[in-house]
Structure 1
Amino acid sequence: MKLKSIKSWQIVCASLLLLAASYGIVRACAGGDWDESYSSNYTPEVFVADTTQTPFFYTWLFYYQIGFDTEHNERFNSTNVADWSKYLKGSVDKPSLEYLLNKANSKAIGQLVAFFDGKVLPDSLKRKAKGISRNNPQHKDFIYYLMYAKKCEQYAVYYNYYWDDKRTLPSRSDMGNIEESLRNGFEKSSDQFLKERYWFQLVRYYYFYDWDRCTYTFESNKLKFSPSTMYYRAMSYAAGAYYAMDRYVIANYYYSRIYDGCNQLKVVAHSSFHPQNESDWQQTLELCQNNEERITLWHLLGINYADEVRSMKEIYKMSSYSTKLDLLLTRFVNKQEIGTPYSQNTDSAKKAIEQDIRWCQQVANEGKTSNPFLWDVSAGYLSFLIGDYQKSAHYYQKAAKGTPNNDLAKSQLRLLTLLTNIKLLPKITPANEQSLLADLQWLYKLSDKNVDTRFRYYNAQSWVKKELAQKYEAQGDAVKAECFSSSTAFYSSNSNIEKMKAYFQNAKPNAYDKFCMGMSEKKLVDLWEYQAIRAAYSDSLSNAIALMQNVGETSTLLGNPFIGRKNDCHDCDHMAPQKVKYTKMSFLKKMKDLETAVAAGTNVHANAFMLGNAFYNMSHYGNARAFYEGGVITAGQSSPYYIPTEFAAMLTSNKMAMKYYQIAFKRATNNEQKAKCLFMMAKCERNEWYNTTLYSNRENEYNYDSNSPDFIQWNSFKLLKGYKNTKFYKEIINECGYFRKSVVG
């Protein structure tokens, strides 16, 4: 069987595999900040409590939550302090150790070396190195070791990101006698603690300058030390040297040992683990001393090559109770839900997935694992993902009998059970509604509670609303469907709106009805306001005012809606000083006053012209879009292309504006007034031409032929040519390019 291709990120970062994993120096790729909680219902933390496994949960990132491993220089800081504190029996306080190990430069350490040779220690350094005494031989050994360790940082510590520049190592001659000093320290030290550290430094030195000596120094001395953090750090350099010499078999074996033996090196060992093919993989397996080592290798392979089920099968044969199965199973489940949906796979891929899922179900049925709850819940959710809801419910019932006594596990099972229960409903009856109510209330109040931040429930909140909406829509209950998932199509029918108003105004709603009303994005006042807006666009101003009165206080418009501009610039109008600020209600009342005056024959030209401006400005092209923006028609529609189809005709129409500009033109008393009316009428004609030519087809946003005309000889432009002697004509021909082209043409 061939190994699957390694992850693309490992190929991209291949140049730093040795660096990042073997000696923990290079600060690798910098990560992103994505979050699976918005596309997943399955929380892996429920099932894998070991936090050292967390970075390996299935993720879009290189590593779950952390993105990239960037702790290479600081990874062992606290461990080193703790180890030396124990070795020195607490004779040097931890702040001083932290300074000496992690912050002090070579000059400071040199002053301490001189101190042990009889020199006076500077006062500033005394304060930073409290407890260091000439009378303590361990202190002298510590400081002399530090002198060499600090020098090693010249080649062993790299502070730049790998893409910033190419790294140049100091030559061996530049390093002076450091090799001899480290070897002497290793060979002459009788203290096992110091001896191991000098060994580590020597192995690391040879990694940079002599790969053969690196592996030899490790191999010839490894039996002298018990496995420890320092032991695995030395092994990582030996593994890196083997890898650099293309000896992948032993390199990958060592990486698996490091992964299993040193939690701090788990991520870097994983990132370097890279079997080349099936042959070297089998050879690596042959190096294992026992099944536990083989299990670790299969565990790593399952993570690296995204073939979790193959690895789980092999591990299960060796030890069905191995906890290394747990991470692989959570990865497999998350991959099925977050990756390509089952329905979008090819038939052959579906069959392969179904086979893998059947194996997981079989393991759950056998119940011979260390975490039966994980296997039962996972079998249930995998069954859900392929549409086998009856089997999903069966596994959840089984899982309920062994749910761990913690909130996260209980919440996970409750969430997934709710999803399956909803899918199992052929129709939602009143009895079903009452049975679902408690779980629905729980789900949508989670954000208000002190819920575990790791719990993934956002996706379920979205999914449940859409699923319930679809079921209600299918059974003809458009109002409840709208409560769960809003659709602009719903508001194209006034009958729908009236039904929803009646639902909201029910004098005796039951608990489920109250829940539905609470779930609805639209509230009763939004419906009243939307009906008022619709009435205004149809020139039914009295009705609009009556409807708007049910809304209560209305928002303020940003510009003066009764002025007309030569060029459309709502931002300009919003910034202009305004003597009167209009709300939606006062705007309607002012329009009604103007309409009454026109009907009565009072100052018809001026009042009709202001009404034309009002209707123009409350369209998408004017300065009062805020009039129609609200709970139903939302804000942010910067172009007619983005206006929902159901609202587009109403919001882009200038029919009513045209009506009142024509009245104003007929009752004008001079040519200046007539010229202004004609120009505003031309703007209405222009907008209607846009509506029918461009905005009627949303594909035109990107595909409209740039060679097509962007204006035509609108009738009002033709008539405006007859007013050449007016001041307004001269202003327009200078300001309006369309009109200037029309005249020249």
Structure 2
Amino acid sequence: MKKYILSLAVLSLLYTKTEACAWSDPDYEYFNLFTQSIIKDKSYLPFLHSYSTRFYTDFKASQIPDENIDAWKKFFNNQLNYAETDYLVNKMNINDLNALKKGTPTNQLLIKLGAGFYQKYSEAIDYLIEAKYLEPYMRINYVESPDSFYYGGPQNAKNATQLDYSKTIAALTSLYNAAKNPEIKQRYGYQLVRFNHYTRNYDAAAQAFKTYVEPIRLKGAPYIMALDQLAGAQRGLGMNSDANWNFFQVFKDSRSRKESAFVSMKLSDTASFNNILKRAGTNEEKNMAYFLLGYEDFNNPIPIMEKMFDINPDSEILKLMAVRSINELERSYLPIYYYNNNDNNSAVQTNSNKNSDQSKAETAEEPKKEELSFWQKIVRFFKRLFGIKDKTPEEAKADQSDAELLDNPDRIPVFTKNNYWYDEKTKDFLDDLEKFTNKTKEKSKDEYWQIADAYLKFLKKEYKESTEILNDIQTSNPEYQEQIKRMKVLNDIVSQPKIDAEYEDHLMKDYAEYFVDKPEPKKDSTENNNYDYYGAVPSTKDFLKDVLANRYFLQGEDGKSFLMNNTLSDLQYNPNSNLVKSVEEFYRKPNKTQFEEQIIAKNINSVGNIDAFFAVIYGDRAMRQADFEKAKSYYAKAQSFTGIPRSEWNYDANKQTPLKYASNVYNGFSNISDLVFGHNVWESYQSSENESMEADDYSSFPFIKPTMNKLELADALIQLKKIGAGKDGKSATANQLIGNLLYNTSILGYYRQLFVMDIDNSNGGKYDFWSTDRSTPYQYYYKNFTNTTFIEPDNFNLAITYYKKALETSANNEQKARVLFQMASAEQGKYYQYEAKNPSKVSYSDPQYSEKSDAYQKNLDQIKNQKYRTYFAMLKTQYAQTETAKSLMGSCSYFSYFMK
């Protein structure tokens, strides 16, 4: 199973569509629906599953009790609680203890304990005073290698060698001999072992353990701590096998030192494990040894789990192995990202279709027309005869039966070839783990195994069986109860075929806590409050939102699907028409359910005037389709538009605030220069418009103002269109100007931002030549919408149509040359679209990669020259001698190359 660790590094390179230019943390890429930390023995929390760090860290340190504090608490006859004991032992100032010894305590805890506390526990207090004196020095002296790559900095930290060795040993020995209480005596022995270890007197440390610790014959916390130091000294002596064994004992017996003991064992090979296994005398030791082997193993853990089961099916570490395996499966079955694989032209391909791609044609081919069968032709004939219309995709989605919805392969949770983790071995592993869990729940008394079995059924989409198991579980464990409750909710929602108003009422009545936002809890000041670079970890709430978003998507309710994971203002990034229409329909829907109002509609955030916001998107789309009359009707409703909703950093308020547009800056509606009707003098989006663009002759068209808003622009185009219906030179110029505007606002034009809800022409996903044949690139719900750009492609034929009219009616060869060059530029856009739809299918691993790639490129060049150089050829053969053509040769290197 661990093979996925390696694959994740590779997969991160493939996330460019969804996580472009962002760091990614694999522990933020699953929903954690099965809470790992419900294991009862919290000392094993560091060994839960994590990809980000060597040890799991998503828990409070206080969840793992320290056996040393428990030992002191017991020593003081439970007069102090755990927190007070921890404060006394680890945090109280040495001066406070000395004051207690003198009978003049000032610390509030010591005052509360009373004057008799020292008389009763004088040996213990004296020991703590000595321990607190030594503690700042109790670290090994770091000696930097002369070949060290990194500079360690000045070594100012205190270490054990800064104490007088002879005096310290003499003092500790004297205190040891004077102590009457065996536990306190053993603690002084621990200090002797530790001091010798940290001064690198390894032989003396080993001897001190034999002389001062072992004879006491107590195996509590002081013994474990001393054994930890002995193992460190044995490592220093090169006694690696003995060191590993003693660290193993610390790992087995300690609760708070398991992680450090595991690291200290340095189990880097199978032989190290086998040595421990050979020395294991009890079932507990054997079980623990198998756990260590299974934890470090990079293969299927079930054979190791079988051995652990044979020893003790109730073992807590067996549960730990199972929960790690379940977490691995969840990451494979329920990824937070899904990838399209039904579209061979899609920009992102999955592992599952890469191999099949290699068998397809490896050279670009021209698109073929759909060939209808005889039967299809008959069906179409009768449909037309009786006026029967095919259902739209939206109508087809809405008319699906419950069975169709339940059988839809794109439902989630899903383990299909639509995620990068797809692997038949993983599917087999789920079956094997389910068999093991089934067997174990019959033997073990712990309800954990029933919960695990129910969750595995959930992953297999056996929701009814999962719920039946959960209903039969009787437990008083609050963590188990919470997990059971959550899984019942998951089974209910995921198994529901259709989300209608009645079911939405059920969600709000019974499961509101999983959808309603709660205020952020205050963080414990004692815990790590560092800023979380990756944001919130995906949760059950996020998963359920995704499930519902996908249900709405499959049901044809795209607006609701979109707003489950996005805000209204996000539409600006991908304003494709069908989705915008569906979102608007939801916005205007009367009598929304409580769920729709509180959970979905809350994402209709501030975009200024909402009606104007929609009107601008619709008007822009109409402009891209050259439907100027429709565009004007929409823009007339958008005059209260205050700007595309963007944010900027407010340094005074130290936060993001809505962007305030200057009065003379383009804001998505106003301040459009008349240069939009001109032509570019050189290809530079970064240059100012006066450098990149040049005006054509507008003198005959006074309605073209130097600066316009979109309503005025649409009106000017309508007037140009009327004039263009004529047959004179003025009509030729009118058509040329319309063609210019359509080209200049296309993906290739300087003003490409005007009709795609963008504020400038800087590069970005909006200006990709998308290659999907679908009306939308979304196979699933609209999660991460702003990271997956899609805008309906430009129709360059519209600009070419107006240029053709100008060419036909113009009598001026210079004008014709200019028009032909513009037509050639638009034709270049058509070629780019064709190229994007026909990417190379040659695999990098193909031994003939270079030859096949060259053949692919040669074929592309041939198609380009045969089908997408029509107007360049006309310009070359008919108007090469014009001043315009000569000027273009000086400013356009490609045209110059073509002419030569």
After TM superposition, list the pairs within 5 Å mapping 1:101-180 onto structure 2.
149=137, 153-155=140-142, 164=150
Of structures 1 and 2, the one scoring higher in RCO (CA 8 A, sep 6+) is 2
Q: Secondary structure at the match of 1:384?
A: helix
1:90 matched to 2:97? The reply is yes
Hey, what does 1:544 align to over in structure 2?
A: 631
After TM superposition, list the pairs within 5 Å mapping 1:400-549 onto structure 2.
402=475, 412-426=483-497, 431-436=502-507, 438=509, 442-446=513-517, 450=521, 456-457=539-540, 460-461=543-544, 463-465=546-548, 467-469=550-552, 472=555, 505-511=588-594, 518=601, 531-549=618-636
Letter paired with 2:736:
F
Q: Give the Cα–Cα distance (whole angstroms) in 1 for the partners of residues 247 and 879 of structure 2.
A: 88
Hey, what does 1:377 align to over in structure 2?
A: 451
Hey, what does 2:45 align to over in structure 1?
A: 54
CA 1:297/1:547 → structure 2, altered by over 3 Å: closer, same or farther? same
CA 1:223/1:40 → structure 2, altered by over 3 Å: closer, same or farther? same
Letter paired with 2:743:
Y
CA 1:723/1:316 → structure 2, altered by over 3 Å: closer, same or farther? closer
Q: How far apart are residue 393 of structure 1 and its match?
A: 0.8
Q: Give the Cα–Cα distance (whole angstroms) in 2 for the partners of residues 279 and 410 of structure 1.
A: 40
Q: TM-score, normalised by structure 1?
A: 0.67
Q: Which string of whole-angstrom CA distances, capped at 9 and with x for unpartnered residues, describes residues 371-395 of structure 1?
A: x3x4443221122113332221123
Q: Which string of whole-angstrom CA distances, capped at 9 and with x for unpartnered residues, describes residues 294-326 of structure 1?
A: 655555455344776667666667766665555
1:564 matched to 2:695? The reply is no
Q: Give the Cα–Cα distance (whole angstroms) in 2 for the partners of residues 495 and 166 of structure 1.
A: 61
Q: How far apart are residue 542 of structure 1 and its match?
A: 0.9
CA 1:5/1:667 → structure 2, altered by over 3 Å: closer, same or farther? closer
Q: Select 1:610's aligned residue among 713, 737, 741.
A: 737
Q: Which string of whole-angstrom CA distances, capped at 9 and with x for unpartnered residues, describes residues 68-118 of structure 1?
A: xxxxxxx99x9999469687762389xxxxxxxxxxxxxxxxxxxxxxxxx
Hey, what does 1:70 align to over in structure 2?
A: none
After TM superposition, list the pairs within 5 Å mapping 1:359-378 onto structure 2.
359-364=436-441, 368-369=445-446, 372=447, 374-378=448-452
Q: Select 2:324's aligned residue among 309, 326, 331.
A: 331
CA 1:409/1:86 → structure 2, altered by over 3 Å: closer, same or farther? same
Residues 559 and 573, structure 1, Cα contact 8 Å, conserved in 2: no
Q: How far apart are residue 565 of structure 1 and its match?
A: 0.4
Residues 678 and 717, structure 1, Cα contact 8 Å, conserved in 2: no
Q: How far apart are residue 254 of structure 1 and its match?
A: 2.1
Letter paired with 1:566:
V
Residues 559 and 584, structure 2, Cα contact 8 Å, conserved in 1: no
Letter paired with 2:624:
Y
Q: Over aligned residue pairs, what C-alpha RMSD do you find?
A: 5.5
- Identity among equivalent positions (%) equals 15
Hey, what does 1:29 align to over in structure 2?
A: none
Q: Secondary structure at the match of 1:542?
A: helix
CA 1:683/1:426 → structure 2, altered by over 3 Å: closer, same or farther? closer
Q: Which string of whole-angstrom CA distances, capped at 9 and with x for unpartnered residues, describes residues 246-280 of structure 1?
A: 86664443223323555553322123443735743
Letter paired with 1:660:
Y
Residues 469 and 485, structure 1, Cα contact 8 Å, conserved in 2: no
Q: How far apart are residue 165 of structure 1 and its match?
A: 8.0
Residues 616 and 657, structure 1, Cα contact 8 Å, conserved in 2: yes
Hey, what does 1:588 align to over in structure 2?
A: 714
Q: Which string of whole-angstrom CA distances, capped at 9 and with x for unpartnered residues, describes residues 450-505 of structure 1?
A: 599778326514641465247536xxx7777777799x9xx999899877765654
CA 1:602/1:537 → structure 2, altered by over 3 Å: closer, same or farther? same
Q: Give the Cα–Cα distance (whole angstroms) in 2 for the partners of residues 563 and 482 of structure 1.
A: 38
Hey, what does 2:701 align to over in structure 1?
A: none
Q: Give the Cα–Cα distance (whole angstroms) in 2 for the partners of residues 264 and 163 of structure 1.
A: 33
Structure number with the higher helix fraction is: 1
CA 1:164/1:365 → structure 2, altered by over 3 Å: closer, same or farther? same
Q: Select 1:388's aligned residue among 454, 462, 465.
A: 462
Q: Give the Cα–Cα distance (whole angstroms) in 2 for the partners of residues 159 and 38 of structure 1.
A: 40
CA 1:218/1:353 → structure 2, altered by over 3 Å: closer, same or farther? farther
Hey, what does 2:775 align to over in structure 1?
A: 646
Q: Give the Cα–Cα distance (whole angstroms) in 2 for the partners of residues 161 and 303 of structure 1.
A: 34
Letter paired with 1:613:
N
Q: Give the Cα–Cα distance (whole angstroms) in 1 for the partners of residues 633 and 252 of structure 2.
A: 74
Structure 1: stretches of 5+ with no match in the other structure? 10-31, 68-74, 94-136, 170-174
Q: Which string of whole-angstrom CA distances, capped at 9 and with x for unpartnered residues, describes residues 608-632 of structure 1?
A: 333222111221111333344359x
Hey, what does 1:34 align to over in structure 2?
A: 25
Q: Which string of whole-angstrom CA distances, capped at 9 and with x for unpartnered residues, describes residues 50-85 of structure 1?
A: 765432221113334559xxxxxxx99x99994696
Residues 745 and 754, structure 2, Cα contact 8 Å, conserved in 1: yes
Q: How far apart are residue 335 of structure 1 and its match?
A: 2.1
1:636 matched to 2:765? The reply is yes
Hey, what does 1:619 align to over in structure 2?
A: 746
Q: Give the Cα–Cα distance (whole angstroms) in 1 for the partners of residues 131 and 492 of structure 2.
A: 65
Q: Give the Cα–Cα distance (whole angstroms) in 2 for the partners of residues 51 and 659 of structure 1.
A: 73
Q: How far apart are residue 736 of structure 1 and its match?
A: 0.7
Residues 204 and 234, structure 1, Cα contact 8 Å, conserved in 2: no
Q: How far apart are residue 203 of structure 1 and its match?
A: 3.0
CA 1:56/1:324 → structure 2, altered by over 3 Å: closer, same or farther? same
Q: Secondary structure at the match of 1:394?
A: helix
After TM superposition, list the pairs within 5 Å mapping 1:267-306 onto structure 2.
267-273=259-265, 274=267, 276-277=270-271, 279-286=274-281, 288=282, 296-305=288-297
CA 1:53/1:580 → structure 2, altered by over 3 Å: closer, same or farther? farther
Q: How far apart are residue 640 of structure 1 and its match?
A: 0.8
Q: Give the Cα–Cα distance (whole angstroms) in 2 for the partners of residues 480 and 448 of structure 1.
A: 24
Structure 2: stretches of 5+ with no match in the other structure? 7-22, 59-65, 69-84, 101-125, 156-160, 179-184, 335-414, 524-535, 645-666, 694-704, 777-789, 845-852
CA 1:592/1:177 → structure 2, altered by over 3 Å: closer, same or farther? closer
CA 1:625/1:462 → structure 2, altered by over 3 Å: closer, same or farther? farther
Q: Give the Cα–Cα distance (whole angstroms) in 2 for the partners of residues 6 and 698 of structure 1.
A: 31
Q: Which string of whole-angstrom CA distances, capped at 9 and with x for unpartnered residues, describes residues 94-149 of structure 1?
A: xxxxxxxxxxxxxxxxxxxxxxxxxxxxxxxxxxxxxxxxxxx99998899689x5
Hey, what does 1:100 align to over in structure 2?
A: none
Q: Give the Cα–Cα distance (whole angstroms) in 2 for the partners of residues 618 and 699 of structure 1.
A: 29
Residues 611 and 657, structure 1, Cα contact 8 Å, conserved in 2: yes
Q: How far apart are residue 573 of structure 1 and its match?
A: 4.8
CA 1:635/1:733 → structure 2, altered by over 3 Å: closer, same or farther? closer
Q: Which string of whole-angstrom CA distances, capped at 9 and with x for unpartnered residues, describes residues 408-459 of structure 1?
A: 8766444432332234345556654543454675434347665997783265
Q: TM-score, normalised by structure 2?
A: 0.57
1:357 matched to 2:434? The reply is yes
Q: Select 1:235's aligned residue among 223, 227, 235.
A: 227
Q: Secondary structure at the match of 2:746?
A: coil
Q: Give the Cα–Cα distance (whole angstroms) in 2 for the partners of residues 6 and 468 of structure 1.
A: 33
Q: How far apart are residue 330 of structure 1 and its match?
A: 2.7
Residues 193 and 229, structure 2, Cα contact 8 Å, conserved in 1: no
Residues 482 and 520, structure 1, Cα contact 8 Å, conserved in 2: no
Q: How far apart are residue 690 of structure 1 and its match?
A: 3.1
